[in-house]
Amino acid sequence: MRHPIGVIGTGSYLPAHSVSNAEVAAEAGVTDEWITRKTKIRSRRHAAPHEATSDLAAAAARAALAQAGITADQVSYLVLATSTPDHPQPATASIVQHLIGASNAAAFDVNSVCSGFVFAMSIANGLLHDQSDGYALVIGADVYSRILNRSDRKTAILFGDGAGAVLLGPVAAGQGLLSTRLTTRGDQHELISVPAGGSRTPASADTVASGQHYFTMDGRAVRSFVNDSLSHEVTALLRDASVAPQDIKHFVPHQANGAMLSDVWPTLGLHSATCHLALEHYGNTGAASIPITLDLVHRKRLLAENDLLLLCGFGGGMSVGTTLLTWARTRHARTAATFRPERGKFGAAALAGLH
């Protein structure tokens, strides 16, 4: 018997250190105005020197568990989406498991770069479906500040650090994850990469000196990929799930670039939905961007029971992951910050001041 699985708790962690556009612009050879115009990003967070991806992930996981009222030893699976692991080996998820005391959880990493969280959530959902009970922690966490060439204006201006998590568990019939669509275009895998450090090009003094351990991206080609892919993937998911676009209440995309999202938004046909953005103050946090945004929206009580949500991740590989879910009732965490979304519009508002 297949049991409905849904989100029963959310959490996020954003490092304390905020880095302004002015600081990034000086090293990248551009201006604050240029960054804002090209990306709609004004600042981002950078991890402290002592913080690694596992530390951020553990903090987000603890927040999700606390919100759901579930203890770490009740978790059956811990799936971490990241492309900036603590080490090449072991899986960073195993470190997170140890940090939070999830001693009964099978823990592993998923690397689909910025689409990784949706891929990880789909895997965890499948693992839980055949159990009568049980919980899965799905975490997206990245520390991109450690792999950026600060003089590369195509990448240095975009990325920040952070982690977001959801706890998946049993929900009422008709609620939870309804449908997921995962696609990969491996013929375009070279658009986003860290060239050295793996078995193809092992680390050496030469690879370090030539900057091959930095994150690289063909920004123009990535933008074309997103423009060509997102509308098709969203349309296909909704068609397969027999859901009309006007029934979607909330759209949470990967927070890649605000200007790019504003261009693609009209092509998606989600005219009744709110497109939630957190990138103005947090930038592109890789696999963490969707769960961070979802947590901030949830903690502002903007998600009502039985609302239809669409999550959409896209990134290196090149991959796209879309998930449709019906929101289940969860335990809410209160916050005093003010956030008033612009319903039915692109860019509901920046989620400023929530962390």
For 159-180, how does the pLDDT look when each residue is reduced to its tens digit (9 = 90+)?
999 999 999 999 988 899 999 9
For the residues 136-153, what does the mean pLDDT come to?
95
For the residues 222-236, what does the mean pLDDT come to?
92
Predicted confidence at residue 109, as pLDDT, reads 98
Tokens of 276: 């939630």
For the residues 249-261, what does the mean pLDDT come to?
95
Quick check: 28 and 152 in contact, CB under 8 A?
Answer: yes
How many angstroms from the chain centroid is the CA of residue 137? 14
For 43-102, how does the pLDDT look when each residue is reduced to its tens digit (9 = 90+)?
999 999 999 999 999 999 999 999 999 999 999 999 999 999 999 999 999 999 999 999
CA pair distance 108, 89, nearest whole angstrom? 11
Secondary structure class of 196 (helix, strand, coil): coil
Tokens of 214: 């930095």
Predicted confidence at residue 332, as pLDDT, reads 56
For 258-271, how does the pLDDT look when each residue is reduced to its tens digit (9 = 90+)?
999 999 999 999 99
CA pair distance 189, 308, nearest whole angstrom? 32
Positions annotated as catalytic residues are: 114, 254, 284
Predicted confidence at residue 133, as pLDDT, reads 74
For 303-323, how does the pLDDT look when each residue is reduced to its tens digit (9 = 90+)?
999 999 999 999 999 999 999
What pTM does this model have?
A: 0.92
State the pLDDT confidence band at 132, using cuts at 50, 70 and 90: low
Quick check: 166 and 75 in contact, CB under 8 A?
Answer: no
Predicted confidence at residue 352, as pLDDT, reads 33
Secondary structure class of 324 (helix, strand, coil): strand
Mean pLDDT, the chain, rounded, equals 90
State the pLDDT confidence band at 331, using cuts at 50, 70 and 90: low
State the pLDDT confidence band at 350, using cuts at 50, 70 and 90: very low
Tokens of 52: 């690694």
State the pLDDT confidence band at 157, using cuts at 50, 70 and 90: very high
All structural domains of the chain, each given as residue ranges with its CATH number in brackets, are 5-170 (3.40.47.10), 176-326 (3.40.47.10)
Predicted confidence at residue 130, as pLDDT, reads 75
Only one residue has tokens 């901030």, namely: 296
Which burial class, exposed, middle or buried, applies to 271 when counting CB atoms under 10 A from its CB (0-12, 13-18, 19+)? exposed
Residue 30 has pLDDT above 50, yes or no: yes
Please state which of the ranges 234-238, 285-289, 328-332 shows the lowest mean pLDDT.
328-332
